[in-house]
Chains A and B, each alone.
Chain A
Amino acid sequence: MSRGDVVVIGAGAAGTAAAIVAARAGARTTVVDGGTGASTLWTGAAHATDAVSAEARDVAVLLGVTVARSMLLPTSARPLVAHGHDAAILDLDPLISARAAIAVVGCDRPQWDAELVAKWDGQSLFPLEAAMLRHVDERALPDADFAARHDDPSRLGWLADRLREALARSERKPVALLLPPSLGVERSRAEELSKRVGVPCGEALGLPGGPPGLRFEAARNRALASAGIHTARGRVTRIEPSGGKWRVTLAANGDGGLEADAVVVAAGGLVGGGLEYQSSEWMLAAAMPPYSRAPFRCTIDGPLPLGSRGKPLELPGSLYGMAPESIAWPFASDPLMNRVGVPAASDGRVAQGLYVAGELVADLPRTWLDALESGIRAGVAAAREALSVTSPQSASASAASATRP
């Protein structure tokens, strides 16, 4: 039996990172993409709780993310200090400290008020009206759809012309232009636009579900393709040990699913759908359930017990489950809802050949860069294990001992 197969479940930041490093280490890698999750909804601001490793920086670049201490300005005009950002977003950090003039480009779009954004720092920022809209419908387009229009080079050229005109009219000459979320979804068009306009251009930080999430998807697809990683679409329902390997079953896939020597589960947390909140609340008025149960569930059947703070998730002493008031924000400052996951070693190992990464990991800080780092650690370890020559028997024995709770 040949070895070296790694299956990564989840195509968000953690899963993609795991797949890339596993493929680099020589494993035959397959990614299972379950659709939209937290990474494809992200705003473009990346945070980290620790120093970012060189590997993470390297993978981040592939995903269109610049890792650096940065200051981003949300559309609501309260600056956010981050540890990295989507490449199209304008980093104000060097500009503000240099007290340079920055123009906030005004255009008639919802949730964008250039005058208001500029008020945050009246000395450096000033509003600059420019014609960004070319068609009437663009006033009402969602940010992502509007941004998609600037993937067209001729349209981007048109925008550059308008911006240059506005700059020519302006008395103050800015060193950078801050635009609403709009600069492409296939890839960041910020650099191209900057070249054409002559000054650095970039986006303000938008809401979840905006262009940065789509740019992440596009960058991820390019990165996976260039690394020769297979992608399967679908939701994984089950993982189980089978003959020294791991069998991965996909929803609506009768013919066996996938087999791997090592599996990295990076299916996301509550937003991504790897975890489900499942207290009896959801059936509200149904008759009292016959037994008590924990309010969270891993949506993938398999040896993935949940817990937090080093302890397994306990059954609550109530037939209705835990009171949501006790586990959810904003009641708790560090709510269980944010910590619960699969307890794992620092490299994400749960059992032989089974790893978790990203938001599915218990107690891992829910930030983009922490997810990326955990994916890299799990991907490296999984590839090493998949490629090592171990006896299939011991693998299956160890996995069986770790079977479900």
Chain B
Amino acid sequence: MRVAEGPLPVDEYDVAVLGGGVNGTGVARDLSLRGLRVVLFERNDLAFGASGNSSGMIHGGVRYLSQSPKVTETSCRDSGYIQHIAPHLLFRLPFLMPVKSGAQGRIAFELIDAYFRAYDDYQPLKHGEPHCRLDANDLARLEPGLTGSIVGGITFDEWGIDGARLCTLNAIDAIEHGASVYVHTTVEQIARAEGQDDGGRYVVEARDRDTQERVRVRAHVVVNATGAWSPVTAHLGGLPQARVRVRPGKGIHVVLDRRLTNYGILSEAIDGRQIFLEPWQNVSILGTTDDDYYGDLDDVRATSEEVRYLVQGVARVFPSVRTARAIGTYAGVRPTLYAYGPNEDALSREHEIVDHTRDGAPGVYSMIGGKLASYRLFSQELSDQVARDDFGVAAPCTTHTRPLPGGESVPDAMALADKHGITPVAARRLVYRHGQRALHVLERVARRPREREITCVCEPVMEAEVRHVVRHELARTVDDVARRTRLGLGACGGMRCAARCGQIVAQERGLPPHQGQVMARDFVEKQAKTRVVAMGPEQARQEALALAHLDATLGVRP
């Protein structure tokens, strides 16, 4: 497998993709599959921004049904495709929508019922179940934790996904089809190439943010898929920022330590916005906010105010979130299409391709807006345009039929657990994350039984998987490993595993052990920052212990 290191300073590519989110990796994969030579630059890590900090759903866009049913239809169809190409990565996520009783409630109930009846028409596209209308008793039986006077409710079906893994898989597939992917590498300049020979029209200069090594490539086409960073990126190419305007919307999520429910539950926040509690992998997630955000995109964090807003809203229908243990928060910034005037929720979730020919930069495109669920379609639209207009390539898009790495088939986790002597839980999580490629990880285990060791107990993650993602999935730091494996994102906040993971990463990368400690400390500190805003008395004790732990394992403070 070809990993990011390698290409010489002035490599020739057809397309340079900027941004390692779901759109960037999606485009890189699509164009690589069509036979074009692609290079991708990511300033931080794959899925560092909105893609890795989403609600973890590829929902069908039921919200858009009334204004733009087309969006709902395409979202649903694409959701079906994603299930086909990455069956291991999706899990069914049924939602409950309780309706408060009262005269208005009854009318609302009928309207909601009718609305979801219309949504049912789209469910088959994404292999979802039709909605169910439930009376108060049914609802109480399904979810006894619901409270308040409720006239009834409806269920509707969505799919959960790990957004960070989706990005990683797209990037891996692109690499396996000839692309070069540079992570932790920031683009510093995009310039017109001197002389119009056979080479690319543009020279992209980038710098590795760890090693300070410079990379320079020539490419015929440049795709700006940097999400909320898009205007910043456009500026590097001397393009007018006004052409790639986004309305950056910060969304935060609160992570609770376990699955509190088997269903997602919708609720209303104090300002009437719809928020939710969802069981997601091993945890529960409260989401989400939507607020204009103009701060540092590389360091977006939830505040205690935002945490309260969510917990308060959900507790009105599901009070036990009040006493649940919040183990952390995460935040991302949506690159929503720009509009002056509407409040954040009313902004369109549609996407748009900006062709910069008009700005005197033919072959430069910006991808603005979009959502996780429609990333593949968005990537396809852009790739179609690039392949046709810039390269005259007629190869059709295959990203909806060709499985993502590991998606070819889903092995039986229980059989693997037996065969390799690992716990069924570890096997299940491994298969969820890696699909058929779980076998690659287990091959390591078979060769070196020591690597069966569970590095992260909460998730759980085996040492072999940590080594695998460093070797084959472009992970460079403990934080990167966490994004790919969920190591350290469980109840312990990385306190039990960060140091060991740092050791392993340093070893795999041939770095001095000291570097591993620094990475581990950075990770634990970052996690503490996300956790502290949701802190209750137990967490406060835990933070105090975390400090002691840092002293002991990392020797950070005297």
Give the interface of A toward B (CB within 8 A): 38, 41-43, 45, 47, 74-81, 108, 110-111, 113, 116, 119-120, 205-208, 269-271, 273, 276-279, 281-286, 320, 323-325, 328-331, 337-338
Contact = CB atoms under 8 A, between A and B. Distances in A.
A89 to B, nearest CB: 11
* Candidate in B308, B315, B502, B548 with the most chain A CB atoms within 10 angstroms: B548
Contact of A329 (B308, B502, B543): B543
A52 to B, nearest CB: 15
Contacts of A276: 537, 540
Contacts, number: 139
A323 B533 CA distance: 8
A281 B534 contact: yes
A273 B463 CA distance: 35
Given A43-B552, A271-B544, 13 more contacts: A47-B558, A78-B514, A78-B555, A110-B453, A119-B513, A205-B552, A270-B541, A277-B540, A277-B541, A281-B535, A284-B312, A285-B314, A285-B316
B545 A116 contact: no
B545 A78 contact: no
B529 A331 contact: yes
A285 B315 contact: yes
Interface residues of B, number: 52
B523 to A, nearest CB: 12
A76 B545 contact: no
Interface in B503-544: 503, 507, 513-514, 516-517, 520, 525, 528-529, 532-537, 539-541, 543-544
Nearest to A74: B553
B450 interface: yes
A285 B322 contact: yes
Contact of A41 (B321, B548, B555): B548
* Candidate in B500, B502, B516 with the most chain A CB atoms within 10 angstroms: B500
A325 to B, nearest CB: 6
B47 interface: no
A116 B537 contact: no
A76 B528 contact: no
B303 interface: yes
A205 B539 CA distance: 25
Interface majority SS on B: helix, strand, loop or mixed? helix
Contacts of B534: 281, 284
A292 to B, nearest CB: 15
* Candidate in B514, B517, B532, B547 with the most chain A CB atoms within 10 angstroms: B532
B412 interface: no
Contact of B543 (A45, A110, A337): A337
B417 interface: no
A43 B454 CA distance: 22
Contacts of B85: none
Contacts of A323: 303-304
B535 A328 contact: yes
B322 A286 contact: yes
B554 interface: yes
B558 A325 contact: no
B539 to A, nearest CB: 8
B513 A108 contact: no
21 contacts: A41-B548, A45-B552, A47-B558, A74-B553, A76-B502, A77-B503, A80-B551, A108-B450, A207-B552, A270-B540, A271-B541, A271-B548, A277-B540, A282-B537, A284-B315, A284-B322, A323-B304, A324-B532, A324-B535, A325-B532, A338-B547
Contacts of A278: 537
A285 B321 contact: yes
A45 B551 contact: yes
B50 interface: no
Given A78-B554, A277-B535, A328-B532, A116 B503 contact: yes
Given A119-B513, A270-B544, A330-B529, A110 B454 contact: yes
A216 to B, nearest CB: 14
Contacts of B311: 284-285
B499 interface: yes
Contacts of A76: 499-500, 502-503, 513, 516-517, 520, 553-555
* Candidate in B529, B536, B553, B554 with the most chain A CB atoms within 10 angstroms: B553
Nearest to A73: B555
Contacts of A205: 552
Contacts of B555: 74, 76, 78-80
